[in-house]
Every structure is written in structure tokens, then in C-alpha cells.
């Protein structure tokens, strides 16, 4: 039986891919494609963390998959961007003994990935180390995000999955813009089969993100986070120019230089090219990121948010 593993990576349309698959589980099953629950429902990120922590053994994953298959099942799809964070070889090797394993992964230029990852981590933090971080701090600790060294990531995958069974594409200029359509096409899913789904997980603008950073949402429950983000959208932030730039030109140059050798190796080994990413935009004048200074953040915008929150205190699940 075919088993396809989508490794992400994060911020390349993975949320929309999950929504497209999970919203049409029954329809896909009728076409012989199983997007399984695996005891964690249809968001397989929890499975990735169970594997990473050792709470579930690879053999149990095999059993869970087979338990959901039926006579119609031709292909099983697992999808989690966090698969690329764990010890790939150990669990992937075992799955390969039970299934005909193929895999896919989408790459994103590291400076753009870091900007998007920073945005996601500030508005919905899961690590207190970065929940109120400045962009400078984020860049200074970018090696924590080891999976964006794409040569190391891809070499780990192909140590188990044959190169011809690993689909690699690049999200961005010169490659593809719609990773959802590209992925569905690659795994043989006709989009006409699917129920309507909504793209989600949009980033905040730079100015609003800079205000949220100072609030540090890490310890708040989901309902409180959502209400705070909703209130923020109601506030008139004059610095907000609608852009989402996080890094300065010099910071972008630093990030790309850091990954240049690895990216060139990937371009040559996996694509037969000299360059992996389009960098034509780097010569263009880049607007200064629209951050908010402390004076306006603490004396104007945050008090305004507190006033609005006090109007519905108790509805967000925490004292105001």
C-alpha cells in the first residue's frame, strides 16, 4: 500500500493543506485515499510530537494506520510540518518496511520563512523563549530552527526514502505560488472532489505584531488570545502601513549568507541548478519595517486595547 508523508515545511501553505484534506475525509476515502485519525484526529502534528517524545512507538503508528484501512484504500496520507523536527530515520525506516513510502516537502527562502515564523510565534506562541522576542533576538537564535538547513533536512529524508520517491518543490517567485494545488495534484487528488475549505493562518502586519509582542500571549488560553488579537484589529494604529516586513536589508543579507552554502548544495544536488531561490528582489529598495516605539505602544495602543477588553471582561476567560 502506498503511504505518502507530507513534511511541510511550516509556513508553506500547510494549514490550508490540512484543511483541504480534513474537510473531505469521507469523499477522499471513497476514492481510495485515507487521511487517517491515528488517535489524534486529523491534525497529525500531535502524532509527530508523540513520536518525538517517545509516547508512541513507530510500530504503533503502523498498527493505527492499518486499523483504519479498508478494501478500497489505495493510498494513505500523513501530513504534519513537525515531522521534519523529529528523528526521521528511526520511524520512517520502520514505516518503509510496511508501506511503499513516498514523501513531499516544500522549501521557502530562509529570510521569508523566518519572518513568517516570527509572525506566527508572536501571535500564537508555543515557546516562552520567543514569545516576546524582538526580530534581532529571533535571528540571533535562528539555529534553533535546524530544519531550515535544507541540505541536512533533505539528506536525512533521502537516507530512507529513495530520491525518486521524494517530491521537492519551492514556494516562492520562480517556482510555485499555490502549494495546496501543487500538493493535491502530486498525490492524485482532484480538487473537484473536495468540499469548500477556507485558507487561514494569515500573518499580522508588522506594527500590530510589534504591539502584541509586548503583551506576550504565551500564558494565556486560546480564547483570550483570540479576543486580544480581535481587539487589536479594532484599534487604529497609525504606524500600520499594511506591510509585514520584519527584517531590515542587512538582516536579510545576514540570513541568506548564513544559508548560502547549504542552499547552493541543495540546488545542485536536487535540482541541477546553481541557485535555489530567486533573489531578484534584494536589489530593490526595501521600506523600513513599521515598528511601534515604546511610548506609543504603552501609552496609546495597549491602554486602548485594555479599555475595549474591559467592556467585555470575563468573556475571554481571564481576569481583566
Buried b (16+ CB within 10 A) or exposed e, 71-108: eebebbbbbbbbbbbbebeebbebbeebbebbbbbbbb
Counting every residue written for the chain, the total comes to: 320
**Domains defined for the chain, CATH in brackets:** 2-109+148-193 (3.40.50.300), 206-243+290-310 (no CATH)
Q: How many CB atoms lie within 10 A of CB 122?
A: 28
Retrieve residue 12's grid coordinates: 508553506
Biggest alpha carbon–alpha carbon distance for the chain: 65
Retrieve residue 9's grid coordinates: 515545511
pLDDT by residue, tens only, the chain of 320 residues: 999 999 999 999 999 999 999 999 999 999 999 999 998 988 899 999 999 999 999 999 999 999 999 999 999 999 999 999 987 788 999 999 999 999 999 999 999 999 999 999 999 999 999 999 999 999 999 999 999 999 999 999 999 999 999 999 999 888 998 999 999 999 999 999 999 887 666 789 999 999 999 999 999 999 999 999 999 999 999 999 999 999 999 999 999 999 999 999 999 999 999 999 988 888 665 668 999 999 999 999 999 999 999 887 655 555 54
Amino acid at each position: 500500500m502506498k503511504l505518502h508523508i507530507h513534511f511541510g515545511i511550516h509556513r508553506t501553505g500547510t494549514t490550508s493543506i490540512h484543511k483541504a484534506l480534513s474537510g473531505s475525509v469521507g469523499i477522499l476515502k471513497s476514492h481510495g485515499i485515507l487521511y487517517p485519525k491515528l488517535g489524534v484526529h486529523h491534525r497529525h502534528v500531535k502524532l509527530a510530537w508523540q513520536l518525538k517524545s517517545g509516547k508512541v512507538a513507530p510500530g504503533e503508528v503502523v498498527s493505527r494506520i492499518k486499523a483504519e484501512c479498508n478494501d478500497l484504500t489505495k493510498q494513505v496520507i500523513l501530513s504534519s510540518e513537525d515531522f521534519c523536527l523529529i528523528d526521521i530515520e528511526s520511524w520512517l525506516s520502520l514505516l518503509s518496511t510496511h508501506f511503499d513510502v513516498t514523501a513531499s516537502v516544500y522549501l521557502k527562502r530562509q529570510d521569508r520563512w523566518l519572518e513568517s515564523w516570527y509572525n506566527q510565534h508572536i501571535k500564537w506562541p508555543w515557546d516562552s523563549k520567543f514569545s516576546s522576542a524582538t526580530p534581532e533576538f529571533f535571528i540571533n537564535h535562528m539555529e534553533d530552527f535546524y530544519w531550515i538547513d535544507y541540505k541536512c533536512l533533505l539528506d536525512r529524508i533521502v537516507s530512507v526514502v529513495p530520491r525518486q520517491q521524494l517530491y521537492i518543490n519551492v514556494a516562492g517567485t520562480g517556482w510555485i505560488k499555490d502549494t495546496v494545488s501543487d500538493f493535491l495534484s502530486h498525490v492524485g487528488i482532484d480538487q473537484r472532489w473536495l468540499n469548500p475549505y477556507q485558507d487561514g493562518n494569515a500573518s499580522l502586519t508588522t506594527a500590530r505584531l510589534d504591539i502584541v509582542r509586548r503583551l506576550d500571549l504565551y500564558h494565556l488560553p486560546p480564547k483570550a488570545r483570540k479576543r486580544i488579537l480581535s481587539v487589536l484589529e479594532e484599534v487604529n494604529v497609525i504606524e500600520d502601513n499594511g506591510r509585514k516586513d520584519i527584517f531590515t536589508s542587512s538582516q536579510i543579507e545576514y540570513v541568506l549568507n548564513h544559508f548560502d552554502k547549504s542552499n547552493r548544495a541543495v540546488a545542485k544536488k536536487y535540482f541541477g541548478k546553481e541557485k535555489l531561490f530567486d533573489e531578484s528582489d534584494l536589489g530593490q529598495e526595501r521600506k523600513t519595517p513599521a515598528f511601534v516605539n515604546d511610548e506609543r505602544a504603552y501609552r496609546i495602543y495597549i491602554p486602548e486595547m485594555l479599555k475595549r477588553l474591559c467592556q467585555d471582561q470575563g468573556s475571554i476567560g481571564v481576569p481583566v
